[in-house]
Amino acid sequence: MSTIDDQTTADVPQTPEDENGHPKHDPAPAADSNAPVMLSFIIGIVISLIIGWAVFPKLLYSQKTQPVNFNHAMHMDPEISAEGCASCHYFREDGSFSGIPKLASCAECHEDVLGESEEEARFVEEYVKTGKEVPWLVYARQPDCVFFSHIAHVKMGNMECKTCHGDIGVSTQTRVYEENRITGYSRDIWGKNIAGFKKNTWDRMKMDDCAECHKANNVNQGSVQTLRGGCFVCHK
Amino acid sequence: MKQAQNHTKNYLYAMAIDLDKCTGCGACMVACMSENNVPFRRDETDQLLSMKWLRVYKLTNGKAYPDHDVCYLPRPCMQCAGQHEGHSPCVSVCPATATDYDQNTGIVSQIYTRCFGCRYCMAACPYHVRLFNWWDPVWPEGMEKMLNPKVSVRMRGVVEKCSFCFHRFQQAKDRAYAKGKRDIDEQDYQTSCTQACPAGAITFGDLNNPSHAVTQLVKPDHKHHGRPQAPHAFRLLERLGTNAKVYYLSSREWVRKMGDNYLKNEKQAGSH
Amino acid sequence: MKLDRRCFLALSIGGAAGTALTPLPWKLTDDLSIWSQNWPWTPVPDKGAITYTHSVCDLCPGGCGITVKKAGDRVIRVEGIEDYPVNQGGVCILGIAGPQLLYSPTRVQKPLKRIGNRGEGRWEPISWQDALAMVIDKLKTLRAADKSHSVAGVFGRDRGTVAQLFQRLLTVYGSPNFFSTPSYLDNYEMTLYLMHGMRASVGVDAKNADFILSFGSGMIQGWGSSVYMFKANSLLKSTGRVVQVEPRLSVSAAKADEWVAVKPGTEGALALGLAHVIINENLHNSDFVVNYSTGFETFKQLVLGKYAPETVAGITDVPAEKIVALARAFARARKPLAICGRGQGLTPGHLSDYIAVHALNALVGNINRQGGVIAIPEADDIDWPEATMDAIAVAGMQKGRIDGAGSSRYPHSRSLLNQLPEVLNTGKGDSIETLFVADVNPLYTMPDAEATRAALAQIPFIVSFASFMDETAQMADLILPNHMYLERLEDVPSPAAYPANIIGLSRPAIGPLFDTRHTGDVIIALAHALGGNIAAAFPWQDYPTCLRETLGDKWNELNRKGYWQGPEVAAPLGFGTFDTASSKFEFSNPDLNAALESQPALPQGDATTYPHLLLPYDTMRIASGPIGSPPFLVKSVDETVLQGNDVLVEVNPKTAAALQLADGKPAKLKTPKGEAKVRVHITEGVAPDVVALPRGLGHTAYDDFLAGKGVNYNALVGMTEDPVSGLDATWGIRAKLSKA
């Protein structure tokens, strides 16, 4: 910054000095000289608020569309999915959760085109016929260090799928998948609200959200260090 | 903290290793590495740097040929409970809450993503069970396919240690849930080393359950921090008060005496 | 308005204050911490359904039942099967590391044709069709030139359908030169032939014995079916006693109830010394001796005359009173069992030792009964119709084996691979024009590596079925890679020394990862292409068909249970159990006496130039057979065995002091066959002047985790033949250890 100071010294006429060697200020009113400073301050606040609340979230997430536009609502027809969500997202014999169905499960019905939707025809053509797995983008994918047992929550805890995943069963098309450019995880983990506020239980899937429920229900509160949940309950 | 646990049974998992049966073959070490995604490097001969959750030590009686004798001692994490439950040497010093003692299982956890690598726990652990990742793990091309999805892979800069294959406990619970049960049986949860040991030297189970083989083998005195009452049973550095949950059995006195720092002519504590 | 310094500062402060009121800093901190916890270069294994495939491990002759665990389509673990009779849930260190072999970068991924010099490592991929055409062309040319007997095959074993298919191919093609890897089992087979009068393999019912006297056998170092022996050893901790006779404090010796430190190479004499005490004190089982044996008097005279405890003490360095006490303890046990074959039994050893040890079992009558030694008659699993031989085949077969096995020189032997280098290098016998190798790595596992290399160099065309680029595969001209064991369907013959006849089924846990082919299929394809009688002898379309038809009524059970167990073979004692001329167990007959009294060959080298004795030892942590140790095994090796790339040899403190060698310091080890740089590990576990070296190191092939580490024992030792069997009887070599 010294160069600016130097220039200032060179361009501006020398400020007269008083007897003590201190520069004498012009007798201009204080309000006049503070106004631009205040204005700058407010501009600073406004700009940063715009960046922080509006620009940053746009920059942070990239938008991706699912490889196939899937209609959950149509599949939830009891004639197709007698067991609701579990018809496709089932538990295996060892209690592990199957997650998103593999192509083979889809092909059980969609070996050939069943309906009239163009999307289905494309799905059958591109994936079923070629045997290529669909590269679904998983909204609820947690980092690898997280251990989560679906069966403990759904079967033993009698929780509904939508408590965490929202009422996805009524959706007629897949949402845009927003991927965090820094972490690579879905926006659903942090939540749609950039401030991290949540209204519904399914709005966010951070560690605190798990802990909140565990604490409230006094589940696995065996930790000595935190006096709360044992770390290994949810981590691996 | 002893609060009523909502539908959570309290287990106290422990291990007994019969050193008379142990052959030092190393199957437990490799079973552990294979199960827990332990990485390996080109040169692993420096034991201070070699990542082994379970290491087999070789003990000798120091006598001359042919009175010389050798014994092998497998050493997993001791899962110390400390003088009051949870006062484990490592847990008490961790500034990051990365390691913790779980009162539901008696297992000391280590959360790698939480750890920032200060290594206080390594200094505190009297058994050298904790190891630091000085390098990023690298697998030869194609060999990363054998990684176990149930255990997360650790990155450079964090400390790791044996977890009594906690993921197997989680899987055992899932299997039980699938059958509509809450409790798990003795055979449902066994560590990888226990299962692999070809000599059947390792016994693993719940000390809170008197019918479990491990309880019958070591006969823990719950009033005295689980001190073993069975003849020939001992714990490493018993007098340090770590209240370890790994017990050893040996019919050879010189082996039992190696388990702690004894004076030359001192009698072994609790020997029968 | 002009932006002066104050305004700029105000803007910045305003910006900072505003930013603090947005989620940006908190969200960014959170994201960065998550990012830093999940480096993109740290692999995240794919999830998938966990499935298990039951199979049988084929990495060693142990034949353990394994279950291969998969996550999705990836093999992630190998575990033991709880209810498999051989291993009952246990699995050895090498078996557990199986997935590392499956995904090893040292796999041969497609057929390869050598383009550079041998061993140079320059290869050219070749299609299966062209590769097979090359082999067929070669075989046709040789046959047309009446040189069918110059084709040879070296296989890991002589039992099982694949080995039998190849032997059949050689036979109808016109060559008797089928070789299998020699081991202690060959000596046992010959011992049973001479004493029981039948071709049988040995079964050791270790689990039901209550006293095991092991003459150097590494019960917990891989002798027999390792996991079975481990379990037996553990069982004996509560039900019996194990005594280990061995010059070095091996793991087996350390874990035994008693270790009898014996002078190297004198185990046979000690066995006869024990026999002396047993007979002299009338402790033998008179029912067995009187009713079921002949030749006892001759044997008695020999033993009483030459092997008094005092004499034996002089030979073996074991005190006479110890010999007497041991003999009494052995004879008074309920189910005493004596076993033989040093370490893992990789070197067959002296036939006389086996006879002496087996005589002990006979003296206590512990033969063909529970807890004893059981002679398991050769299985008739493979019952293919006799093949029609054409004139060339008959002529070729009449030429006799190149190694002299079955000739008047070695009448009882069937295959003498160890004789092959000398025959080829001296040019005394016929030559070998084409050699097939499968499941073996002779260049690494055979003694006198230099001689073996020279012998292989004489063979113009070497075809390898190797799954891994091992030392021998590197010397091949053509590699037709086999599926590795986790990828293939194959029968696994009865485990080594297992006390029952049990066939296992190795099943593919995963489809072939690479462009490899089952050796069984390749053999059948070759036979079909050769046409005529040869094709006719192989009436199967492919290997799976052959396997199913060969196993016949056993197939269903095998497929369902994963194994087929034969009927109880421990025939009650009686006439018919022994197939000798006398129909009794023979303590003595001319062949037997010749073998028993044959002078054991001494280790090579003279004691002045080479004052020390180099002995090998086996450890479970290092694979010493044809397959090199995968990285996990190398990682498990103690710091007292390997430091950096240097192997440590065990040396007694007295020897070390005399040589002024400190623990861990480098030294030079020289033998008549070669020299190597080593380090010393000072231990009281070996006798003075003995230098002990682990087997299984010193590979030049395989990956960075194994190659170049330590020294190959086989490169330092020569072959000394047993005068009767012709097998390799080497148990050590004279050496000179000196300061580097």
Query: Length of chain A in residues, anyone?
Result: 236
Q: Which residues of B touch A230 (CB under 8 A)?
A: 100, 102-105, 109
Interchain pair A190, C30: CB under 8 A: yes
How many angstroms from the chain centroid is the CA of residue C479? 22
Contact C230 B42 (CB under 8 A): no
Considering only the beta carbons, identify the residue of C1, C14, C31 that sits closest to A41.
Answer: C14
Place of tokens 């279950």: C67
Mark yes or no for CB contact B66/C74 under 8 Å: no
Residues 6+ apart with CB under 8 A from A122: A68
A neighbour chains, 3+ CB pairs within 8 Å: B, C
B104–chain A nearest CA distance, Å: 5
Q: Distance between CA B220 and CA B111 in Å, rounded?
A: 29
Mutate to test the interface with C, among A32, A37, A92 (most CBs of C within 10 A): A37
Q: CA of A32: how far to CAs of A16, A39, C1, C10, in Å?
A: 21, 11, 11, 15
Residues in chain B within 8 Å Cβ distance of A221: 3, 5
Which residues of chain A are within 8 Å of residue C19 when distances are taken between CB atoms? Answer: 48, 51-52
Give how far A120 is from chain B: nearest CA, Å.
32
Banded pLDDT at A6 (limits 50, 70, 90): very low
Q: Would you kindly state where each structural domain of chain A is located, as residue ranges?
A: 2-62
- Which of B43, B65, B194 would you mutate first to test chain C, the one with the most C CBs within 10 A? B65
Please give the backbone phi and psi of residue C647, each rounded to the nearest 5 degrees, phi first.
-85, 145
Cα distance between the two ends of chain C: 85
Q: What is the CA radius of gyration of chain C?
A: 29
Question: What is the per-residue pLDDT for A57?
Answer: 92
Tell me how many degrees the CA angle B90-B92-B97 measures, rounded to the nearest 5: 85
DSSP percent split of chain C into helix, strand, coil, nearest 5? 35, 20, 45
Residue among A156, A223, A225 whose CB faces B177 most closely: A156
Q: Is B145 on the interface with C (CB under 8 A)?
A: yes
CB-CB neighbours of C636 under 10 Å: 28
Let me know how long chain C is: 740
Q: Which residues in chain A have their CB less than 8 angstroms from residue C30's CB? A: 190
Quickly state the pLDDT bin for B272 (edges 50, 70, 90). Answer: very low
Res C578: pLDDT: 87
- Give Cα A27 distance to the centre of its chain: 56
Residues of C in contact with B145 (CB under 8 A): 74-75, 103
**How sure is the predictor about A22, in pLDDT bands with cuts at 50, 70 and 90?**
low
From chain A residues 115-134, the ones with a CB under 8 A of any chain B CB are none
B152 CB within 8 Å of a chain A CB? yes
Chain C interface disruption, residue of B25, B28, B136, B154, most C CBs within 10 A = B25
Other beta carbons less than 10 A from residue B135's beta carbon: 13
Q: How many helices (H) and strands (E) does chain B have?
A: 7, 12
- Contacts across the A-C interface (CB distance below 8 Å): 107
Chain B nearest-CA distance from A138, in A, is 17
Hey, are the CB atoms on C92 and B198 less than 8 Å from each other?
yes
> Which residues lie closer than 8 Å to C288 by C-beta, 6 or more apart?
C362, C363, C364, C365, C367, C573, C585
Closest CA to C220 of C201, C197, C236, C208: C236
Q: Is some CB atom of chain A closer than 8 A to the CB atom of B188?
A: no
Pairing of strands A61-64, B131-132: unpaired
To which residue do tokens 């893992």 refer?
C344
Q: C529, C132 in Cβ contact below 8 A? A: yes
CB contact under 8 A, C684 and B60: yes
Q: Given B25, B45, B149, which is nearest C621 (Cβ)?
A: B25
* A91 near B CB under 8 A: yes
> Where does C86-183 have alpha helices with state H?
93-96, 98-102, 128-144, 161-173
Q: A44 CB near a chain C CB, below 8 Å?
A: yes
Which residues in chain A have their CB less than 8 angstroms from residue B100's CB?
223-226, 230-232
* CA pseudo-torsion sign A129, A133, A136, A138: positive
Query: Are the Cβ atoms of B177 and A231 closer than 8 angstroms?
Result: no
Best B9, B87, B177, B188 member to test A by mutation, with max A CBs in 10 Å, is B177
- Amino acid code (one letter) for A44: G
Sheet holding C563-565, edge to edge: C490-492, C502-506, C563-565
Q: Are B196 and C96 in contact, with CB atoms under 8 Å apart? A: yes
Distances (CA, A) of C633 to A159, C159, C440: 46, 28, 20
Q: Which tens digits make up the pLDDT trace of B99-115?
A: 999 999 999 999 999 99
∠ Cα C229 C234 C240 (to 5°): 100
Q: State mean pLDDT over B188-201.
A: 96
Residue B113: Cβ within 10 Å count: 20
Write down the mean pLDDT value for chain B.
92
Round to whole Å and give the CA distance between C697 and C708: 8
In sequence order, the β-bridge partners of residue B249 are B18, B233
Asked whether the predicted pLDDT for residue A24 surpasses 70, the reply is no
Q: Per-residue pLDDT averaged across B163-174, rounded? A: 96
CA distance C90 to chain B (A): 4
Sheet of C241-246, strand order: C258-261, C241-246, C211-217, C336-343
Mind spelling out the 3-state secondary structure of A166-216?
A: CCHHHCCCCCCEEEECCCCCEHHHHCCCCCCCCCCHHHCCCHHHHHHHHHH
In this structure, are strands C112-114 and C478-479 parallel, antiparallel, or unpaired?
antiparallel
Which residues from B are below 8 Å from C48, CB to CB?
Answer: 149
Q: Do B5 and A222 touch (CB under 8 A)?
A: yes
CB < 8 Å from B in window 558-587 of C: none
CA A157, CA C546: separation in Å to the nearest integer? 54
Contact B100/A at CB under 8 A: yes
Question: Does any CB of chain B come closer than 8 Å to the CB of residue C640?
Answer: yes
Q: What is the pTM of this model?
A: 0.92
Instruction: Decide if pLDDT at B91 tops 50.
Output: yes
Q: What is the pLDDT of residue A4?
A: 44
> Chains with 3 or more CB pairs closer than 8 angstroms to B?
A, C
SS3 C640: coil
Q: How far apart are alpha carbons A166 and A202 in whole angstroms?
A: 5
- Residues in chain B with CB shorter than 8 Å from the CB of A225 are 86, 91, 94, 97, 99-101
Q: Output B30 or A117, whichever has higher pLDDT.
A: B30
The interaxial angle of helices C267-280 and C296-306, nearest 10 deg, is 110
The pLDDT value recorded for residue A222 is 76
Domains and CATH numbers, chain B: 13-259 (3.30.70.20)
Q: What is the pLDDT of residue C1?
A: 52
Among B6, B9, B105, B174, the strongest candidate for a mutation testing the A interface, having the largest count of A CBs within 10 A, is B174
Dihedral sign, Cα of residue B204, residue B210, residue B211, residue B217: positive
Q: pLDDT band for position A25 (50/70/90)?
A: low
Is C105 within 8 Å of chain B by CB?
yes
In this predicted structure, what is the pLDDT of residue C526?
A: 98
The tokens describing B229, both together, are 């009452």
Mutate to test the interface with B, among A91, A206, A223, A227 (most CBs of B within 10 A): A223
Look at residue A88 in the predicted model and tell me its pLDDT: 94
In chain A, residues with a C-beta closer than 8 Å to the C-beta of B7 are 219
Which residues of chain C are at the A interface, by a Cβ-Cβ cutoff of 8 Å?
1-8, 10-19, 21-24, 26-28, 30-32, 34-35, 37-38, 40, 44, 47, 49-50
* Measured distance CA(B236)–CA(B76) in Å, rounded: 11
> Under an 8 A CB cutoff, do B174 and A93 touch?
no
Cβ-based neighbours of B24, under 8 Å, separated by 6 or more: B56, B58, B70, B72, C251
Query: Please, which chains are in contact with C (at least 3 CB pairs closer than 8 A)?
Result: A, B
Q: Which residue type sits at A3?
A: T
Closest-CA residue in chain C for A49?
C18
What are the C-alpha distances in Å from C624 to residues A148, A188, B218, C633?
43, 54, 38, 11
Please name the helix (run of DSSP H) or strand (run of DSSP E) that holds residue C280, with its range, or none. Answer: helix C267-280
The predicted structure's pLDDT at residue B116: 93
∠B69-B70-B76 over CA atoms, to 5°?
155
pLDDT of residue A10: 44
Q: What pLDDT score was predicted for residue A12? A: 47
Low-confidence ranges of chain C (pLDDT < 50): none
Q: Could you identify the residue written with the tokens 């030392």?
A: C471
Q: Is the peptide bond before C544 cis (omega within 30 degrees of 0)?
A: no
Element spanning B131, H or E: strand B131-132
- A142 part of contact set with chain B, CB < 8 Å: no
Question: Which of A148, A185, A231, A233 to probe the B interface (max B CBs under 10 A)?
Answer: A231
* Long-range contacts from A61-66, C-beta under 8 angstroms, 24+ separation: A61/A178, A61/A179, A61/A180, A61/A181, A61/A187, A62/A178, A62/A179, A62/A181, A63/A176, A63/A177, A63/A178, A64/A137, A64/A176, A64/A177, A64/A178, A64/A179, A65/A174, A65/A176, A65/A177, A66/A136, A66/A137, A66/A174, A66/A177
**Per-residue confidence (pLDDT) for residue B236, from 0 to 100:** 97
Whether chain C has a CB inside 8 Å of the CB on A99: the answer is yes
Q: According to the model, what pLDDT value does residue A17 have?
A: 52
